C-alpha cells in the first residue's frame, strides 16, 4: 500500500523524473561544445595522447591555439569579412523586406496574401538548385573570388524570410495609430516612417539578427563562390584553410569554432522562437 | 455603387475606392485608392524584384543549364535536350547518391521525430530552470552548421576519437588498430550513420520546438472540457491534440525535409561523400560535378532531381499555410 504523498513530495518526484529524462538531452546537446572548448585550450601534445583521460587538461591550458589562429591564418580577415557581409546583407534586407512587409500587411493590395506566400516560398528553393546558375551571375558581374558575391546572394534567403516576418509584425501594429497620424496630416510615407516604424523597432531588430544568423548558416555559396583565402567568411574559411590535406590543426580549428560559434548560438537562442513563429507563421498565431 | 458598403458589406476596399470618388470629382489616378495601391506596389517592388531576379530567374536558368552542354570552360552553351539527365541516370554514382539521400532523409526523420517528440513533451511540463535547459538543448540548431560539424569531425577522428576512448574504457571495443575499433568516417557502413547522426543532432531541437509551438497552441479549456466529459488521455490526444497540431507538424516536417535533402555541408565537411561513395548524396554529387568538375549542365540536372522530391512538399506547405485565415 502506498503512503499518501504530500504535494511537496509529488513535486520533487516529478522534478527528479523530468530532470532525469532531460539530462541525456542536455548532455548530447552541450558535449560537442565542451569538447570544442577543452580542445581549444589544450597543448597539441595533450591532444594526441591516448592513455590520459581526455576530458580534462593533462598539461596546463594554453592560449597558443588562439595565437596561431590570429597570427598565422586569415582568421582576422574572415571575421571582418563575415561582419561586413552580414552588415550589407542586413542593410539590403531592411531596405527591401521592411517596405514589402508593410505593403503586404497594411495597404490592402489585391492578392497581397498570395504575393506574401509566393515570396516566402522562395525561401524554400534550396541553394543547391540555385548555386550553379548564380555562379554564372556572380561571374558575369565580376564578383567571383570576392566576398561581395555573398552580399549579392545571401539576401535571396534573408529577404523572403524577413518579408514574411515583418508582414506578421506589421499586422500587430494597431491600425488606429496610423489613421491618427494620417488625420494629423501625415502622408502615407510619413505615417510609415514616423509612426509605424518606431513602434516596429523590435521587428526590425529581429530582421537584422536573422540577416546575420542566417548568413552564418550558409556554407555552400561561400564554398562555391569565394576561393581566395583572405576573402572567405568564417564558416567557409575555418574548414577549408585550417585543414590542409590530411593535416588537421584541431586546436586552432576548435578555437575558431568556439570564438565564432558560441556568440552566434547565444544570439540565435534569444530569437529562436521568432524563427519558429516565422516558419509556422500562417498556422499558429 | 455603395450598396455593398451600405448593407454593411465587409469589403473595406470597395468602400475606400468608391467613397471619395464622387464628391471631389478628381481623376481616377488621383483617388486615395490608386495612390495607396501605387505606393504599396512601389514599396513591394524592391523585394519582389530581388527575389525574381536572383531566385526566380536563376531557377529558370538552371532548367536551361540542365538541357545545355554548359561548362565552366566554354561559356557558350548549346541545347542538348535531355542528354544531361540521361547521362546522370546512367551514372552508377547517381543511383548510389539517390539511394543515400533517401536513406539519409528517412532514417534521420525517424530519429529526430522520436527525439523531438519526447523533448517537446518534457519541455511542455512546468519545472524549475526550464528556460536555461531549453536554451542549452537548442544549441545544436543555433550553432552555424559548418562550425558544429567540425567539432563532430574531431570527435569522429580515426585515432583520437573521444567516442572511441569512452567505448574502449567501457570495454566495448578493443584498442586502436584492432578489428573492433570503429573508424567512424572511414568505414562505409559507419560513415553514412555517422553523417545521419550529426544531422539528427543538429535538427532534433528544431523538431522539438516546432512541436512545442503546436502543443502550446492547443487551448487548455478544450482539453479540460473533454476531460470533464469523460474522455481518456488517449482520446483527448487522438481527437483534440493530434488534429490541432497536425498543420504545424506538417510545416515543420516539410521544412526539415527540404533542408535535410538539400543540405550538403554535413556530408561534405565530414567525408566529402567517401569512403568510396558510401556517403555520397545528391547535393554533394551536384557540387562535385557542377563546380569541381566544371560540368554545369550535368550538375544542374542532378540538382534538379531534387525538385520532384521537393515540389510535393512545397505544395503541401502552401495548402497548409493558406488553410488558416490570417
- Domain assignment present for residue A44? The answer is yes
Surface-to-core class of residue B258, CB atoms within 10 Å of its CB (0-12 exposed, 13-18 middle, 19+ buried): buried
Instruction: With cut-offs at 50, 70 and 90, classify the pLDDT of residue A85.
Output: very high
Cell of A169: 509584425
Question: Of B144, B188, B276, which Cα lies nearest the Cα of A235?
Answer: B144
Instruction: State yes or no: pLDDT of A150 exceeds 90.
Output: yes
Residues A179 and A126 grouped into a single domain? yes
According to DSSP, residue A145 is labeled T
ipTM rounded to 2 decimals: 0.87
Residue B192: pLDDT above 90? yes
**Mean pLDDT calculated for residue range A226-246:** 85
Tally the C-alpha atoms within 13 A of residue A132's C-alpha that lie toward its C-beta. Answer: 37
CATH number assigned to the domain comprising residue A186? 1.10.3720.10
- Burial class of B135 by CB neighbour count within 10 A (0 to 12, 13 to 18, 19+): middle
A14 and A80 both lie in a single domain: no
Query: Residue B277's CB: how many other CB atoms inside 10 A?
Result: 19
Q: Does the pLDDT value for residue B199 go beyond 90?
A: yes
As a whole number of angstroms, the distance between CA A36 and CA A65 comes to: 12
* H/E segment holding residue B296: helix B296-304
CB contact under 8 A, A257 and B147: yes
C-alpha to C-alpha distances, B244 to B89, B190, B214, B291, nearest whole angstrom: 42, 39, 8, 45
- Split at pLDDT 50, 70, 90, the class of B18 is very low
Question: In this structure, are A205 and A254 located in the same domain?
Answer: yes
What integer is the mean pLDDT of B216-224?
79
Residues A53 and A113 in one domain: no
CB B295 within 8 A of CB A102: no
Residue A179 lies in a domain: yes
Answer whether B306 sits within 8 Å of A220, measured CB to CB: no
pLDDT of residue B37: 85
Distance from CA of A207 to the nearest CA of B (A): 14
Question: Residue A65 has what pLDDT?
Answer: 86
State pTM to two decimals: 0.85
Give, for A243, the enclosing helix (H) or strand (E): strand A243-244
The most confident of A60-74, A77-91, A163-177, by mean pLDDT: A77-91
Which residue matches cell numbers 513591394? B44
User: What distance in Å separates the CA atoms of residue B148 and residue B141, rounded to the nearest whole number?
Assistant: 9
Separation of alpha carbons A215 and A148, rounded Å: 13
Give the pLDDT confidence of B130-142 residue by residue, as tens digits. 889 999 999 999 9
Q: Is A20 on the interface with B (CB under 8 A)?
A: no
| Calpha distance B177→B88 (Å, rounded) | 39
Give residue-wise pLDDT tens across range A24-76: 999 999 999 999 999 988 888 887 877 777 888 878 888 888 988 888 888 99
Query: Helix A7-40 to helix B145-155 angle, to the nearest 10 degrees?
Result: 80
- Confidence check: pLDDT of B6 > 70: no
Is residue A14 pLDDT above 50, yes or no? Answer: yes
Q: Which residues contact A43 (CB under 8 A, 6 or more apart)?
A: A59, A60, A62, A64, A251
Q: Quick one: which H or E segment has residue A271?
A: helix A250-279
Shared domain check, A156 and A47: no
Whether A130 and B58 have beta carbons less than 8 Å apart is answered as yes
Which stretches does DSSP call E strand in chain A? 243-244, 247-248
Cβ proximity of B134 and B123 under 8 Å: yes
User: Are residues A119 and A148 both part of a single domain?
Assistant: yes
How many interface pairs between A and B have CB atoms less than 8 angstroms apart?
Answer: 297
Q: Do B119 and A25 touch (CB under 8 A)?
A: yes
Q: Residue A230 contacts by C-beta under 8 Å, 6 or more apart in sequence?
A: A74, A77
> Which chain B residues touch A24 with a CB distance below 8 Å?
none
- For chain A, give the percent of residues with pLDDT over 70: 96
Q: How far apart are CA A203 and CA A27, in angstroms?
A: 33
Rounded CA-CA distance A16/A176 in Å is 50
Say if residue A137 is in the same domain as residue A116.
yes
Q: How many Å is the Cα radius of gyration of chain B?
A: 27
**Cis (ω within 30 of 0) for the bond into B62?**
no
- Given a cut of 70, whether residue B75 has pLDDT beyond it is no
Chain B residues touching residue A50 (CB < 8 angstroms): 159-160, 165, 176
- Residue A217: CB atoms within 10 A of its CB come to 20
Residues in chain A closer than 8 A to B284 (CB atoms): none
Partners of B50 on chain A (C-beta within 8 Å) are: 92, 96, 155-156, 159
Give the residues across from A243 on adjacent strands.
A248
Measure the CA–CA gap between B316 and A11, rounded to whole angstroms: 43
Show the domain range for A33: 7-62
Which of A19, A124, A171 is opposite residue B258, by nearest beta carbon?
Answer: A124
- pLDDT, tens digit, for every residue of A209-225? 888 888 888 999 998 88
- C-alpha distances (whole Å) from A116 to each of A103, B47, B176 are 10, 11, 57
- B152 against A122, higher pLDDT: B152
Residues A40 and A85 in one domain: no
Answer with the residue of higher pLDDT: B42 or A6.
B42
pLDDT of residue A281: 66
Say if residue A33 is in the same domain as residue A133: no
**Are residues A142 and A87 part of one domain?**
yes
pLDDT greater than 80 at residue B323: no
Residue B100 pLDDT more than 60?
yes
The partner residues of A247 in beta bridges, in order of sequence, read: A244
List, for residues B145-174, the tens digit of each pLDDT value. Answer: 998 999 999 999 888 888 888 888 888 887
How many helices (H) and strands (E) are present in chain B, helices listed first? 19, 0
The single-letter DSSP state of residue A244 is E
Top residue of B73, B126, B142, B186 to mutate, by most chain A CBs within 10 Å, is: B142
Q: Are residues A227 and A151 in the same domain?
A: yes
Going by pLDDT thresholds of 50, 70 and 90, the confidence category of residue B320 is low
Give the pLDDT confidence score for residue B14 in this predicted structure: 43
Smallest Cα–Cα separation from A95: which of A227, A211, A245, A266?
A: A211
Identify from B88, B150, B168, B265 which residue to disrupt to test chain A contact, counting A C-beta atoms within 10 A and taking the largest count. Answer: B150
Q: Residues A48, A101: one domain?
A: no
C-alpha cell at B76: 557558350
The secondary structure of residue A6, as a DSSP letter, is P
Domains and CATH numbers, chain B: 3-66 (no CATH), 83-323 (1.10.3720.10)
Q: What is the mean pLDDT of residues B236-243?
A: 80
Average pLDDT value for chain B: 82
Phi, psi of A243 (to 5 degrees): -110, 110
- What does the pLDDT read at residue A195? 81
CA distance A212 to chain B (A): 11
Which range (A76-80, A272-276, B100-104, B190-194) has the least confidence?
A: A272-276
A-chain residues near B115 (CB < 8 A): 25
Amino acid at each position: 500500500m502506498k503512503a499518501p504523498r504530500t504535494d511537496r513530495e509529488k513535486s520533487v518526484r516529478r522534478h527528479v523524473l523530468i530532470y532525469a529524462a532531460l539530462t541525456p538531452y542536455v548532455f548530447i546537446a552541450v558535449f560537442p561544445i565542451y569538447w570544442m572548448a577543452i580542445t581549444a585550450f589544450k597543448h597539441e601534445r595533450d591532444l594526441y595522447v591516448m592513455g590520459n583521460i581526455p576530458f580534462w587538461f593533462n598539461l596546463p591550458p594554453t592560449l597558443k591555439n588562439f595565437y596561431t589562429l590570429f597570427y598565422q591564418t586569415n582568421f582576422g580577415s574572415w571575421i571582418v569579412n563575415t561582419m561586413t557581409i552580414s552588415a550589407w546583407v542586413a542593410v539590403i534586407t531592411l531596405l527591401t523586406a521592411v517596405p514589402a512587409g508593410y505593403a503586404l500587411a497594411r495597404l490592402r493590395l489585391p492578392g497581397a496574401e498570395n504575393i506574401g506566400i509566393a515570396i516566402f516560398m522562395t525561401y524554400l528553393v534550396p541553394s543547391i538548385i540555385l548555386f550553379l546558375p548564380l555562379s554564372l551571375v556572380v561571374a558575369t558581374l565580376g564578383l567571383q573570388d570576392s566576398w561581395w558575391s555573398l552580399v549579392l546572394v545571401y539576401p535571396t534567403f534573408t529577404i523572403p524570410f524577413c518579408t514574411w516576418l515583418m508582414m506578421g509584425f506589421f499586422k500587430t501594429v494597431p491600425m488606429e495609430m496610423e489613421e491618427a497620424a494620417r488625420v494629423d496630416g501625415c502622408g502615407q510615407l510619413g505615417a510609415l516612417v514616423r509612426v509605424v516604424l518606431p513602434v516596429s523597432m523590435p521587428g526590425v531588430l529581429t530582421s537584422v539578427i536573422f540577416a546575420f544568423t542566417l548568413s552564418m548558416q550558409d556554407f555552400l555559396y561561400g564554398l562555391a563562390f569565394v576561393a581566395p583565402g583572405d576573402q572567405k567568411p568564417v564558416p567557409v574559411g575555418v574548414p577549408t584553410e585550417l585543414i590542409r590535406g590530411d593535416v588537421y590543426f584541431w586546436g586552432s580549428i576548435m578555437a575558431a569554432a568556439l570564438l565564432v560559434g558560441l556568440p552566434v548560438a547565444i544570439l540565435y537562442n534569444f530569437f529562436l522562437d521568432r524563427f519558429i513563429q516565422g516558419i509556422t507563421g500562417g498556422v499558429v498565431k | 455603387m455603395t450598396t455593398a458598403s451600405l448593407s454593411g458589406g465587409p469589403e473595406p476596399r470597395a468602400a475606400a475606392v468608391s467613397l471619395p470618388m464622387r464628391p471631389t470629382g478628381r481623376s481616377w489616378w488621383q483617388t486615395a485608392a490608386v495612390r495607396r495601391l501605387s505606393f504599396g506596389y512601389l514599396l513591394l517592388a524592391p523585394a519582389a524584384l530581388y527575389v525574381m531576379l536572383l531566385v526566380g530567374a536563376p531557377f529558370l536558368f538552371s532548367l536551361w543549364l540542365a538541357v545545355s552542354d554548359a561548362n565552366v570552360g566554354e561559356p557558350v552553351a548549346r541545347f542538348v535536350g535531355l542528354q544531361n539527365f540521361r547521362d546522370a541516370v546512367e551514372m552508377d554514382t547517381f543511383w548510389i547518391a539517390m539511394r543515400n539521400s533517401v536513406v539519409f532523409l528517412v532514417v534521420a526523420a525517424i530519429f529526430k521525430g522520436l527525439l523531438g517528440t519526447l523533448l517537446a513533451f518534457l519541455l511542455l511540463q512546468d519545472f524549475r530552470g526550464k528556460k536555461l535547459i531549453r536554451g542549452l538543448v537548442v544549441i545544436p540548431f543555433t550553432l552555424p552548421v559548418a562550425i558544429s560539424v567540425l567539432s563532430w569531425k574531431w570527435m569522429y577522428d580515426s585515432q583520437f576519437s573521444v567516442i572511441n576512448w569512452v567505448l574502449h574504457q567501457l570495454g566495448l571495443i578493443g584498442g586502436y588498430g584492432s578489428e573492433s575499433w570503429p573508424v567512424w568516417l572511414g568505414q562505409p557502413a559507419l560513415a553514412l550513420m555517422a553523417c545521419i547522426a550529426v544531422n539528427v543532432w543538429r535538427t532534433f531541437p528544431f523538431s522539438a520546438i516546432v512541436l512545442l509551438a503546436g502543443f502550446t497552441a492547443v487551448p487548455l479549456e478544450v482539453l479540460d472540457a473533454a476531460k470533464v466529459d469523460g474522455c481518456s488521455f488517449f482520446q483527448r490526444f487522438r481527437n483534440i491534440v493530434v488534429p490541432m497540431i497536425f498543420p504545424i507538424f506538417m510545416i515543420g516536417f516539410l521544412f526539415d525535409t527540404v533542408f535535410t535533402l538539400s543540405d550538403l555541408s554535413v556530408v561534405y565537411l565530414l567525408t566529402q561523400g567517401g569512403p568510396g561513395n558510401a556517403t555520397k548524396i545528391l547535393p554533394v554529387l551536384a557540387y562535385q560535378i557542377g563546380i569541381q568538375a566544371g560540368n554545369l549542365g550535368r550538375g544542374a540536372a542532378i540538382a534538379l532531381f531534387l525538385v520532384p522530391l521537393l515540389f510535393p512538399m512545397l505544395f503541401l506547405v502552401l495548402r497548409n499555410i493558406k488553410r488558416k485565415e490570417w
